[in-house]
Amino acid sequence: MEQEVVTVGLDLANNVLQVHAIAAEGKVLIRRKLRRSEVIRFFAELPPCLIGIEACASAHHWARELIAIGHVVRLMPPAYVKPYVKRGKTDAADAEAFCDVARQTG
């Protein structure tokens, strides 16, 4: 049986966004970069899931777009996420931390 994405961390960088998605038991299913133009199409193909995003100016826009296609979005303040970053400050590490925080606070 194919595993289904249940939680996603989305790091909102300038031009390229980083995605980190996991299954219910925590197995990493997706780690990839998306251009802004690819984001809605990518998430429209996923089953409804929980998406963790660090709260910032553009996060509210993306949250509305993702909610409109059936996902649950959790906006988190940077202070909640910082302890979960396991290694150096990179977009991929941040996306993983957003995923972890969303999963544990849900």
CATH number at residue 32: 3.30.420.140
Percentage of residues of the chain with pLDDT beyond 70: 94
In a domain, 2, yes or no: no
The whole-model pTM stands at 0.89
Q: Where in the sequence is the domain holding 57, given as residue range(s)?
A: 7-104
**Residue 16 in contact with residue 35, Cβ under 8 Å?**
yes
State the residue for tokens 């998605």: 21
Looking at the structure of the chain, the number of domains it has is 1
**Residue 7 in contact with residue 102, Cβ under 8 Å?**
yes
Confidence grade of residue 81 (pLDDT, cut at 50, 70, 90): confident
In a domain, 1, yes or no: no
Confidence grade of residue 1 (pLDDT, cut at 50, 70, 90): very low
- Checking 28-33 for CB contacts under 8 A at 24+ apart, the result is 29/3, 29/5, 30/5, 31/92, 31/95, 33/91
Report helix, strand or coil for 105. coil
Burial state string for 28-48 with b = 16 or more CB within 10 A and e = fewer than 16? ebeeeebeeeebeebbeebee
